[in-house]
Amino acid sequence: MAADKSENQVAAAAAACLGHGQGPALMAYLQQTTIMRELPPDASDAELRDLEGQRRLFRRIARLVQAGMEGSPGSFIADTQET
């Protein structure tokens, strides 16, 4: 699937904002507070769903940054499409 111009621009913008300078530190913090976070066994369904949404958004942003840095946002889009 070919990425259109706007997808290329978004990937490039994500890489410019989060791929350099202080961006990696922010991404590491977000990874720690989402992907690495564990909920207690008695967490409610709403808490589980909320955390999973946060994790999904983090992964989407991380893939977008990576694609922008690699110059291939088409691969990002293919990886994140819903089935």
What does the pLDDT look like over 32-51, one tens digit per residue? 999 999 999 999 999 999 99
Residue 35: CB atoms within 10 A of its CB come to 13
Alpha carbon separation from 16 to 49, 64, 75 (Å, rounded): 30, 11, 18
Residue 46 and residue 33: Cα distance in Å, rounded? 17
Alpha carbon 64 to chain centroid distance?
6
pLDDT at 42: 98
User: Which 3-state string (H, E, C) describes 27-72?
Assistant: HHHHHHHCCCCCCCCCCCHHHHHHHHHHHHHHHHHHHHHHHHHHCC
Q: What is the pTM of this model?
A: 0.77
Question: What's the pLDDT tens digit per position in 52-82?
Answer: 999 999 999 999 999 999 986 554 444 444 4
